[in-house]
Amino acid sequence: MRTVLVGAVESTRVALEAMAAAGHAPEALLTLPPERSRRHSDYVDLVPTAERLGVRVIHAPDVNHPDAVAELRRMVPDHVLVIGWSQICRDDFLSVPRRGALGYHPSLLPRNRGRAVISWTVLQGVRETGSTLFWLDQGMDSGDIAAQVRLAVAEDETASSLYALHMDALARMLAELMPRLADGTAPRVAQDHSQATYCARRTPADGLIDWTRDADRVWALIRASGDPYPGAFTFQGGERLAVWEADRVHDPRYWGLPGQVQAMDEDGVLVQCGDGGHVRLRIVQRGGGERVKANTALRMHEKLGMDWAALYAPARGGAS
């Protein structure tokens, strides 16, 4: 069986290792050139792994470009696996593999088709998700299912911990599926399209913390936006302050404005939210600096989320 793997992120690396471990290393890896790495926040340079496994590397910014399609066609692959790639694969690309192309999606399809699914899963507050390998068609995450596993989502799940669960599931699914692809017995289970839901694309700006929201929602945003993604953030005196680790705290003793520091201890900094609840910031990052403990970067009763100095500057300089 001849296969080609397409991707440029951590899930691609996991797939490459799993395929090789199953005795079905791909003939080639098609990945992004390094200068296009900013297209994925979780981009991984896969060349060292491919070289170690003896897999040829092809750099291409667009899998649908005629040159990329022609290169793939010359390899006459039986299957192409697209795992960790942000483009929709068009008809010319899908016509290349003789026995079909497969994709990977970190959800329990048909639920949560679309983009930024790991972050949205945390934000939704669901207690179950899944990982799915499916046959690619002309739709968005709509093809028949080849393999799927269910995953429990913890109450305090983060993007990072959920990502790790998905990577483990992907490796296990590929270990079982690769031999079935080779002997032609891989499943094709149609999705129930009436049950489909869709997730929108997220950008780094979507990590902005609105301290007037309730504490549970603020905590969810921080957990959903962290590694390997750009992070949730607020503003401290007009400077961007990323929040990388935080806890939900139930302590009714404090009251102040949304975004105001209410208490500090060795564990972190307690910040008020709009419903009177609190989150404890543990690890933060000011501007482009280092990640540090929040209790070293913030001050008691400091207000986050607005440039207060700029707000009151006209009053200081104007007439009384």
Q: At residue 314, does pLDDT exceed 70?
A: no
Q: At residue 320, does pLDDT exceed 60?
A: no
Domains of the chain: 3-199 (3.40.50.170), 204-311 (3.10.25.10)
Rounded to an integer, what distance in angstroms lies between the CA atom of residue 297 and that of residue 101?
50
Strand order in the sheet with 79-82: 56-59, 28-31, 3-6, 79-82, 101-105, 128-135, 145-152
Q: At residue 318, does pLDDT exceed 50?
A: no
Rounded to an integer, what distance in angstroms lies between the CA atom of residue 283 and that of residue 292?
6
Per-residue pLDDT, 317: 45
pLDDT confidence tier of residue 312, bands split at 50, 70 and 90: low
Per-residue pLDDT, 306: 65
Whole-structure pTM value: 0.90
The residue-averaged pLDDT of 13-20 equals 98
For residue 101, give every residue at least 6 positions away whose Cβ sits within 8 Å of its Cβ, in sequence order, or none. Answer: 79, 80, 81, 82, 89, 93, 94, 135, 136
pLDDT in tens, 137-167: 989 999 999 999 999 999 999 999 999 999 9
The residue-averaged pLDDT of 126-135 equals 98
166-180, 247-261, 278-292: least confidently modelled range: 247-261
Per-residue pLDDT, 133: 98
Nearest alpha carbon to residue 114 among 151, 139, 149: 139
User: How many CA atoms are closer than 13 Å to the CA of 145, on its beta-carbon side?
Assistant: 20
The residue-averaged pLDDT of 122-141 equals 96
Nearest alpha carbon to residue 275 among 212, 232, 208, 219: 212
Per-residue pLDDT, 86: 84
The residue-averaged pLDDT of 272-280 equals 96
Please provide the average confidence, as pLDDT, over all residues in the chain: 93
Per-residue pLDDT, 178: 98
Q: At residue 171, does pLDDT exceed 80?
A: yes
The one-letter code for the residue type at 229 is Y
Per-residue pLDDT, 118: 97
Q: At residue 210, does pLDDT exceed 60?
A: yes
* Contact in structure between 249 and 270 (CB atoms under 8 Å): yes
Rounded to an integer, what distance in angstroms lies between the CA atom of residue 220 and that of residue 232?
10
pLDDT in tens, 30-82: 999 888 777 776 789 999 999 999 999 999 999 999 999 999 999 999 999 99
Per-residue pLDDT, 179: 97
Q: Which helix (H) or strand (E) holds 37?
A: none
Rounded to an integer, what distance in angstroms lies between the CA atom of residue 125 and that of residue 216?
10
The residue-averaged pLDDT of 93-109 equals 97
The percentage of residues in the chain with a pLDDT greater than 70, rounded to a whole number, is 94
Q: At residue 121, does pLDDT exceed 50?
A: yes
pLDDT confidence tier of residue 307, bands split at 50, 70 and 90: low
